[in-house]
Structure 1
Amino acid sequence: MEYYLKRKKLLKNEFSIDLDDLKRYFFQTYKYFDDRELFDVAFKGVWAGEGFSNKQYQVYPPSMAPTPEIFFINHLESDDIYPVGKNYNYYNEEELFTIIEILYEHICSYDFGNDKFMKKEHQEEFATLINNLLKRYKNGYYLDEKQGFIMEQSNEAVNALLQTDIPKTINDGVVEQLQTAVKMFYRFNSNEESKKKAINILADILEPLREDLKDVLNNEYEVNKNSHDKLIFEVVNQFNIRHNNQKQLTEYSREIWYDWMMQYYTSVIIAYYRLKENKG
């Protein structure tokens, strides 16, 4: 249900939270699920009573085997992570985001009556509540439910492109490459090198299509075919993206230009396949 402020569009869209706020609200959310014993499968495993003695025995070991403390040590190289309630105030951003991903992966309950684990519905609820916090942190993040990764809110133009109907002419391999590039570029811990590799993936999608791309674009806008090719590939071939030699341009604002390249090459790929679909 939408309440008064939202219905009347009176909400302050600029409302944001800092890391201390995020950690505090994260713990309240974590406790909400922990109080419902939805991390017991992860932390303790599944236990059952045996006959009239009610002697407890383990049906399944914890998914964070052998213990959650050791599990977190192995994944975060720190013994100051578990228990969450004792340590959450000291998490840095990278630790907090990693813990959220781990908890999303391991949240679960066990249905004794049907002898099965219940996972998906708890993950969906966890992601919904966590995303309501993450979207207000800095420039906005979200927990991707398909990948289980925390991502930066992607460039609005890229997001709009990928959320429109994907042309039927795009094969599954290209879709997977696009998804991999977006994940690599917008993952919360993405650095300059991983963003560069993401742009390379997009250029690699276009490379085997170069000759056909010239023809397809020329059908819509007739110029010298090589002008299209030069316009598209000159950036990745001269801005130290695909090649590493003395001719490469290196002194530029990479953060700004990389964001533009990501948007540009994604739009070229989608445009190519849409034009192919129109022609077919």
Structure 2
Amino acid sequence: MRYYAERNNLLNKDFKIDLDDLKNYFIQVYRYFNDRKLFDVAFNGVWQSERYKEDYQLHPPTMSPSPEIFFLNHLNKDEIYPFWEYYESYSEEELFTVIEILYNHICSYNYSEGTFIEEKYKQEFAMHINNLLKRYKNGFYLNEKHGFIMEEPNEAVNALMNETIPDSMDNDVIEQLKTAVKMYYRFDSNEELKKKAINILADILEPLRDDLKSLLNKEYDISKNDHDKIIFGIVNGFNIRHNDKKQLTEYNKSVWYDWMMQYYTSVIFTYYRLKVQYE
């Protein structure tokens, strides 16, 4: 429900929280979900039994072999878990990583049905966390579809991130696409990681080149090679895939990398949609 101040546009739009505030609010959100035992599957595992049988079997914790070791492995630091002891000392990178991991592992177990329940708790966790992240610095966002924290996206990026994956796309391509998206848009991505993400997208298209030229040419009666030159001329000429003296390097990468990422992602989706249409 939208209350009086929000309904009447009276909220302070310049209100921000700093890292210490974010950490203090985070621990409250964590305790809220932990008190509901929604991290028991992650930390302790659950005892399962086959229906109508007395033998119980331990489903190991998803953070095996223990939360301490799990966080040590992912952060190369031993003062992460238990959170209530160490959260005040977290850096931004450590806090964001902890949030991503908790989002990925939040879960409950329905003993009567013998099933794990994840999605509705992930959505609830993301809602509470995003209400905090949007007020931190210039705004951050826990993307529910991909499960990582990114800077608050503009409308074009947001639409791209929530694009429905075509049914014709195989699992290997989906995994590559998700890897590239996470590598590019994650909060701690740098210029080199963004370059590698664009390269992954080009690698997805490389074995499809001949088929892609034919599909695109079904609607536009021009030389098939014209499509190919437009698509691959970018990564082959702007120091993305090749590193030689002929490459163009003096350009605003922070602007053009964003365009390349969106362009190649769109080309991939276009290919798989056309493939269904013309098969």
Residue type at the aligned position of 1:159: N
Q: 1:20 to 1:237 in 2, by over 3 A?
A: same
Q: 1:119 to 1:215 in 2, by over 3 A?
A: closer
More off after superposition, 109-118 vs 128-137: 109-118
Instruction: Report the Cα distance in structure 2 between the residues aligned to 1:116 and 1:172, rounded to whole angstroms.
Output: 24
Any residues of structure 2 matched to 1:9-158 within 5 Å, and which?
Answer: 15-39=15-39, 42=42, 64=63, 68-108=67-107, 119-145=118-144, 147-154=146-153, 156-158=155-157
Residue type at the aligned position of 1:95: E
Alignment-derived partner of residue 54 in structure 2: none
Instruction: Report the identity percentage.
Output: 65
Q: 1:14 to 1:233 in 2, by over 3 A?
A: farther
Residue type at the aligned position of 1:191: N
Q: Give the unaligned 5+ runs of structure 2.
A: 48-57
Number of residue pairs matched by the alignment: 270
Alignment-derived partner of residue 3 in structure 1: 3
Q: Is 1:244 the equivalent of 2:260?
A: no
How many Å apart are 1:16 and its aligned residue?
4.0
The DSSP-based 3-state class of the residue aligned with 1:249 is: coil
Residue type at the aligned position of 1:22: L
Q: Is 1:271 the equivalent of 2:270?
A: yes
How many Å apart are 1:265 and its aligned residue?
1.3
Q: 1:71 to 1:272 in 2, by over 3 A?
A: closer
Instruction: Report the Cα distance in structure 1 between the residues aligned to 2:112 and 2:263, rounded to whole angstroms.
Output: 53
Instruction: Report the Cα distance in structure 2 between the residues aligned to 1:234 and 1:173, rounded to whole angstroms.
Output: 25
Structure of larger gyration radius: 1
Instruction: Report the Cα distance in structure 2 between the residues aligned to 1:209 and 1:122, rounded to whole angstroms.
Output: 39
Instruction: Report the Cα distance in structure 1 between the residues aligned to 2:165 and 2:271, rounded to whole angstroms.
Output: 12
Residue type at the aligned position of 1:157: A
Q: Check whether the contact 2:183–2:197 (CA below 8 A) recurs between aligned residues.
A: yes
Q: Check whether the contact 2:146–2:178 (CA below 8 A) recurs between aligned residues.
A: no
Q: Check whether the contact 1:184–1:190 (CA below 8 A) recurs between aligned residues.
A: yes
Alignment-derived partner of residue 50 in structure 1: none
Instruction: Report the Cα distance in structure 2 between the residues aligned to 1:171 and 1:69, rounded to whole angstroms.
Output: 36
More off after superposition, 192-201 vs 61-70: 61-70
Any residues of structure 2 matched to 1:157-168 within 5 Å, and which?
Answer: 157-161=156-160, 163-167=162-166
Q: Cα deviation per residue 1:237-267 (whole Å; 9 max; x = unaligned)? A: 0111111222222233322221111011122
Q: Cα deviation per residue 1:15-68 (whole Å; 9 max; x = unaligned)? A: 543322221211221222234444455556679xxxxxxxxxxx7876656654
What TM-score, normalized to structure 1? Answer: 0.74
Alignment-derived partner of residue 186 in structure 2: 187
How many Å apart are 1:154 and its aligned residue?
4.7
Alignment-derived partner of residue 198 in structure 1: 197
